[in-house]
Chain A
Amino acid sequence: MNLPADRLIKKIFVTAECAQDELTEQILDAYPILKKIEIESEKTLIETTPPEDPKKILLVTRSKGEVVKDCPGTSEPYLCCRYQVINQTLNCPLDCTYCILQYYLNQPATIIYTDYQKIITEIDQKIASQSQRLWRFGTGELGDSLALTASQIFAIKLMEYFAAQKNALLELKTKTDRIGLILAQPHNGHTVISWSLNPLIIRNSEERLAPPPARRLNAAAEAVRQGFLVGFHFDPIIDIPDWESQYLGLIEELYRCIDPARIAWISLGSLRFPPSMKAKIIERYPHSRLPYGELIRGQDQKLRYLRPRRTEIYRSIYRKLTEIPDPPFVYFCMESPTVWQDVCGFTPESNAHLDYLFAENLWRRFPGLVRERPRWEDY
C-alpha cells in the first residue's frame, strides 16, 4: 500500500469464492492496515452496504463473464486499431474530469478480478484464433493499469505471461509515476508502458489527482533505462486558447526526456464523450470548462470538436511529432478517414489495415520484437 492512489481506499471487500486465490492473498497483504470484509458475493455488497464513493472501496472478486474483449472503440466511419482490452481493474482512483469511467461504471466499488488463470485462458484463445497476427492487449481501458497496488500485482503476473508470447504485446497504460515494482520485473521486451500526456495547465484543471506531466516523463525515462519500450497518448487533446504552444512545448519536453527510438507508439485523440455525459461533468466538476468547448455531434453521436478545428490542431501536433528522423508510429484513436487523410496524407483502409500498420511499423523499427514480417492477408 505504497502508492498515492492506494491511500484513497478505505475498505476492502473480498468475496468468498476468491478468498483462497493466490492474487487475493497478495492483494490483501499489500493493504495491511485496511479493514477487510468477507462477503458472500458482489450482490451482498450492494444489498448490505450503504452506497459510498466507489473509488474508496475495493472489491476483490472473480469475474463473471468475459474479461478480455475487443476495445469497444466507436462506430464507423471512425477508425479504430483493433486493440484488445483486459478489464481486470474496473474503475480508476484518479479523478479526471473528462473520464467516462466515473459516469458509466455502475458498480459499488473499484473491482479487482483475481481469477488470473481464467483471464490467461481468454487471452490464449484470442491469440490462437489468429496466430499470425500481432496482438496488442492492454489493461488501461476501464481503469489505470498501474495506479493501484492491486492493479500492479496483476500487471506483474501478466508481464510474466507476455514475456513468453511470440506474437503479443502487453500495454500498461497509466498516468502515474510510481512504477518501481513494475520496472524490476522481467518482460522480454513484450511489455510497453505508456502514459497519457497533457500539458501542465490541463493537468492542473482536469487531472488534479494525477502527477504532472514532467513526473510522468521522468517515470517513462526510467522505464526506458530499464529496457522497456514506452508509449504515449495525447488523449484527450483539449482545445484551450494557447493549445499550440502548450502541446508543442510538451512534445519538445517529451523528446528531450525520451529517446524517440524507444517509443513504440504515440496516439492522438481529441476530447469526445457521449452527449449525456455533459450534464454529469457539469454536476461533478462545476468549475471545469470542458463541457463548454465548441463541441458538435459526430457521426458516432459523440460530442467532439469541429472537424476542421481537430484537423488544425492535429496537423500541428503531428508535424511536431514526426519532423524528427525515424519518428515513432503516430496514430489516431477514433478518428475519421477524412482527418487521417488531411493530417497524415494517407488513411488506413480499415480497422484491420490500421492494426496491420501497427505491426508492420513495430516489426520494422524494433527488430526481433515481432516474430515474422507481418503479412496484410493475416489481418
Chain B
Amino acid sequence: MQIKNVAIEQIIPAQSQERLFVEETNPDSHKPDSSLFIRPVFLHSTCNGFIILYGFDYISEIYKYGGKNVPAFVIPKSQSLFSALNIVTDFIRCSRPLWPIEVARILQLCNHQRFSDTKKSAFFKKLTAKDLTRTLEGRYLALIGLDPLFHKFLIEKKAPLKTWFLTAECPPIIQDLILILITECQPSLSTFEEISRNLLEILRRETITPEQLAAEIKPILAGISEEIQPSQKLEVFRNKIHERRFPQMTIHRERVNDFLQTIQLPAAVKIEFDPNFEERGYRLKVEIRTPNDIVELTEFLNSAAQSDLKLLLEIL
C-alpha cells in the first residue's frame, strides 16, 4: 500500500462519519522535524468518495490551515470495508492494543454494516482474544454511551477492561456525580474504581433508585469545604462512600475509636489492631527513648487503664 495525496474535497465530511479510533498526537511534536501526529491517515475508497478510517484530527488540522491535499494510505474500492478495518486495526495494534471504546465502536460498525455473526465474532476474537457472547457485546456497546470525558480519563489512566465496564454499569445520574469528581479532584485509577464500585454495589444491594442515591450523595459532595485541596476533598468523599457501603464496619470502628479516645495513653504508647476486626486483640507499640518513658509506661500499666485495656479487648 502506498501513500497517496488525496484532495480533501473528495473526502466524505467528517461529521457524517462515526469516529472509530482514538487518535493520539505525538508528545514529542514540539521537537524540530517532528510531526504532530504519530500515525498516517487511512482512507477507504468508495463509490461516493473516501471515508476516513483513521486520521480525523490530522485532516481537520490540514483543513483548518487551508491545505488542499492530505497524504494518506488509501485502501482501494476492491477491498471490502471489513478488509479495510482489518488493515487499520493491524496497523494500530503494531504500536498499542485497541482501547475498549475502539472495540466497542468496531462492534457497532459491524452491526450497522450487517456483518455476519461469524465474521464479527472472528474479528472480535482477533482483537481481544475473547469469545464474543451477547452479554459481552452488550457490555462493550454500553461503553459508547459514556461521556467522552470518561473515555479520556480511562485511556489516560490505562484502565483495564473491567474498569471500563464498571463505569458503564453505573447509572447515568451516578456517572454524572463521578464526572464531577474526575474534573474537580483528578482521582487515581484505584480511587476512581473504589468509589464507582462502592456506589454501584450500594445500588445493587439495597432497594434504592439511582436518583435516591444521587440525592443522598450530592449533599455530601456539596458539603465538603471548597477551601480544602482537591486531594483532601476526594479523600473525604471516598471515606463517606466507603462508610455508606460498609455501615456495620463503620459503626464498629467508630465504637472502638470512641473508646480509644477515653484511654489516656502515654506519648510513647500506640495501640494497633486488625482494621478488619477479624482478629481480636491489639498490639501495644511502645517506643522507649528516655528513662521517663519507662516510668510512664509502668505507671500506665499499673493504673486504672488496665481495666480499660481489658474492656478494649472485649469491644474489639
- Where the two chains meet, the residues of A that have a C-beta atom closer than 8 Å to any C-beta of B are 77, 279, 283, 289, 291-294, 296-299, 304, 306-309, 336, 338
- Let me know if B277 and A293 touch, CB within 8 A: no
With a cutoff of 8 Å between Cβ atoms, the chain B residues found around residue A291 in the complex are: 201
B277 CB contacts on chain A under 8 angstroms: 296, 306-308
Residues of chain A with a CB closer than 8 A to B276's CB = 296-298, 306-307
* Interface-centre pick from B162, B245, B249 (highest chain A CB count, 10 A): B249
Taking CB atoms and an 8 Å cut-off, the chain B residues in 280-312 that contact chain A are 280
List residues of chain B with CB within 8 A of the CB of A292. 201-202, 204-205
Choose among B135, B162, B246, B280 the residue that contacts A294 (Cβ–Cβ < 8 A): B246
B247 within 8 A of A: yes
Which residues of B have CB within 8 Å of A299? 278-279
Contact call B205/A308, Cβ cutoff below 8 A: no
Specify which chain A residues have a CB less than 8 angstroms from the CB of B202 in the assembled complex: 292
B252 within 8 A of A: yes
Interface size on B (CB < 8 Å)?
17
Q: Tell me whether B252 and A293 are in contact (CB under 8 A).
A: no
B248 at the interface (CB under 8 A from A): yes
Q: Are the C-beta atoms of B247 and A294 separated by less than 8 Å?
A: yes
> CA separation between A307 and B276, bound complex, in Å?
8
**Would you list 30 pairs from A and B whose C-beta atoms are within 8 A, ordered by A residue?**
A283-B135, A289-B204, A291-B201, A292-B201, A292-B204, A293-B205, A294-B247, A294-B248, A296-B246, A296-B276, A296-B277, A297-B276, A297-B278, A298-B276, A298-B278, A299-B278, A299-B279, A304-B278, A306-B249, A306-B252, A306-B276, A307-B277, A307-B278, A307-B280, A308-B248, A308-B252, A308-B277, A309-B248, A336-B279, A338-B280
- If A307-B277, A336-B278, A338-B280 touch, does A296 touch B201 (CB 8 Å cutoff)? no
Closest-CB distance, B281 to chain A (whole angstroms)? 9
Which residues in B have some Cβ–Cβ distance to A below 8 Å?
A: 135, 162, 201-202, 204-205, 245-249, 252, 276-280
Least Cβ distance of A149 to chain B in Å?
32
A292 to chain B, nearest CB (A): 4
Minimum CB–CB distance for A242 against chain B, Å: 13
Determine whether the beta carbon of A289 is less than 8 Å from that of B205: yes
Q: When chains A and B are docked, how far (Å) is the Cα of A204 from the Cα of B28? A: 61
Closest A residue, CB atoms, query B277? A307
Chain A nearest CB: distance from B256 CB in Å?
10
A339 to chain B, nearest CB (A): 9
Chain A residues lying within 8 Å of B280, measured Cβ to Cβ, are: 307, 338
B136: nearest chain-A partner, CB-CB: A283
The complex places the Cα of A294 from the Cα of B242 at a distance, in Å, of 11
Complex-state Cα separation, A297 to B276, whole angstroms? 8
Which B-chain residue is minimally distant from A289 (CB atoms)?
Answer: B205
Q: Is the CB of A294 within 8 A of B278?
A: no
A37 to chain B, nearest CB (A): 25
Chain A residues within 8 Å of B204, by CB: 289, 292
List of A residues within 8 angstroms of B162 by Cβ: 279
A291 to B204 CA separation, bound complex (whole angstroms): 9
Cα A294 to Cα B253 in complex, Å, equals: 14
In the assembled complex, the Cα of A4 lies from the Cα of B310 at a distance in Å of: 56
Given contacts A296-B276, A336-B278, contact A306 B248 (CB under 8 A): yes
Return B316 CB to nearest CB of chain A, in Å.
9
Q: Which residue of B lies closest to A337 (CB)?
A: B280
State how many angstroms separate the Cβ of A379 from the closest Cβ of chain B: 27
Task: Report A333 CB to chain B, min CB distance, Å.
Answer: 17
> Is B249's CB under 8 angstroms from A294's CB?
yes
> Which of A289, A293, A294 is the most central at the interface, judged by chain B CB atoms within 10 Å of its CB?
A294
- CB <8 Å contact, A296 and B247: no
Closest chain B residue to A298 by CB distance? Answer: B278
Bound complex: CA of A304 vs CA of B280, how far in Å? 15
A44 to B246, CA, bound (A): 49
Instruction: Compute how far the CA of A304 lies from the CA of B276 in the bound complex, rounded to whole angstroms.
Output: 11
Closest chain B CB from A244 CB (angstroms): 15
In chain B, what residue has the closest Cβ to A338? Answer: B280
CB pair A296–B205 under 8 Å, yes or no, is no
Q: Tell me which residues across on chain A come within 8 A of B249, comparing CB atoms.
A: 294, 296, 306
Instruction: Return chain B residues, CB-CB under 8 Å to A297.
Output: 276, 278
Chain A residues, CB < 8 A from B247? 294
Residue ID in chain A nearest B252 by CB atoms: A308
Chain A nearest CB: distance from B311 CB in Å?
15
Name the distance in Å between B237's Cβ and chain A's nearest Cβ.
20
A218–B276 alpha-carbon span in the complex (Å): 41
Q: In angstroms, how far is the closest chain B Cβ from the Cβ of A315? A: 14
Shortest A61–chain B CB gap in Å is 27
Known: A292-B202, A294-B245. 11 other contacts (CB 8 A): A289-B204, A292-B204, A294-B246, A296-B249, A296-B276, A297-B278, A306-B248, A306-B249, A306-B277, A308-B248, A338-B279
Give CA–CA (A289, B249) in the complex, Å. Answer: 19
**B residues in contact with A77, CB < 8 Å:** 279
Q: How far is the CA of A291 from the CA of B202 in the complex (A)?
A: 11
> Bound state CA distance, A7 and B248, in angstroms?
43
Q: How near does chain A come to B276, taking the closest CB pair, in angstroms? A: 4
CA distance A309 to B279 in the complex (A): 13
Which A residues touch B135, using CB under 8 A?
283
B47: shortest Cβ distance to chain A, in Å?
Answer: 41
Residues of A within 8 A of B252 (CB): 306, 308
Q: Within 8 Å CB of B246, what residues of A?
A: 294, 296
Residues in B with CB closer than 8 Å to A289 are: 204-205
Please report the C-alpha to C-alpha distance between residue A291 and residue B248 in the assembled complex, in whole angstroms: 16
